[in-house]
Amino acid sequence: MKSFDLFEKKLGLDFKNKDLLTQAFVHRSYLNENPEFGLEQNERLEFLGDAVLELIVTEELYKKYPEKAEGELTNWRAALVNAKMLTKVAEELGFNDFLLLSRGEMKELGKARQYILANTFEALIGALYLDCGYEASDTFIKKYLMVHLPEIIKTGSYKDAKSHFQEMAQDKNSVTPLYKILKEWGPDHKKKFTVGVYLHDALIAEGEGYSKQEAEEEAAKQALVVKKWQ
């Protein structure tokens, strides 16, 4: 079993239950090859961590920017908690050195690895919340994730394609885009999605991704091209 002592020291963590920390890094594929490992995979922790992450980021934005409207805060939050940002932070913090993956997944270094890193970040937040509580989770998220907000605001990267397409659709057609899953395939730990974006009943464009959110964002990008609304 990998030792997480170095990981804890580097990030200023101190887990009482070391198994909980290890579990946050256990990918489903690892247990397929190591069924006697003794710990569960990290998806339940990811489920919890996703909610804790969203609450803490929302609370911080609400308190720190009282003059900002809900819509802008929503866009900032989305830019902070999306898979791209979580992957970036996970890579910066050295998550790749501690992932417990199958031999096949170890060779995957593209989109699939990014998706695993983002999910592992959420799982770590879930484990931290269970072991150390809300305050420790809050401190960790502010230290390693919220620090990216000034750059997000400065570059305007929070203006994602979905938000832009919705603004344009409402302005030009007085309609809110609707997203539908058209197809999903692959194993549970590496599922892919095709999503269609509609205006009224008309399919405007499709997008693919390793999560529904990613597929929706890709569909919105394509729709902006189709409608010439870039």
Does 122 qualify as catalytic in the annotation?
yes
Please indicate whether residue 33 is annotated as part of the active site: no
Q: Considering the candidates 60, 122, 214, 217, report the single residue annotated as catalytic.
A: 122
SS3 (DSSP) at 114: helix
User: In what helix (H) or strand (E) does residue 194 lie, and over which residues does it extend?
Assistant: strand 192-199
Q: How far is CA 46 from its chain centroid?
A: 10
SS3 helix, strand, coil % of the chain, rounded to 5? 65, 10, 25
In the block, residue with structure tokens 């605001």: 153
Dmax (CA) of the chain: 58
Residues contacting residue 124 through CB under 8 Å, at least 6 positions apart: 21, 24, 25, 45, 49
Cα separations (Å) of 184 from 90, 172, 187, 188?
Answer: 26, 31, 10, 10
Query: Catalytic pick from 46, 50, 138, 160?
Result: 50
Q: Which are the catalytic amino acids?
A: 50, 122
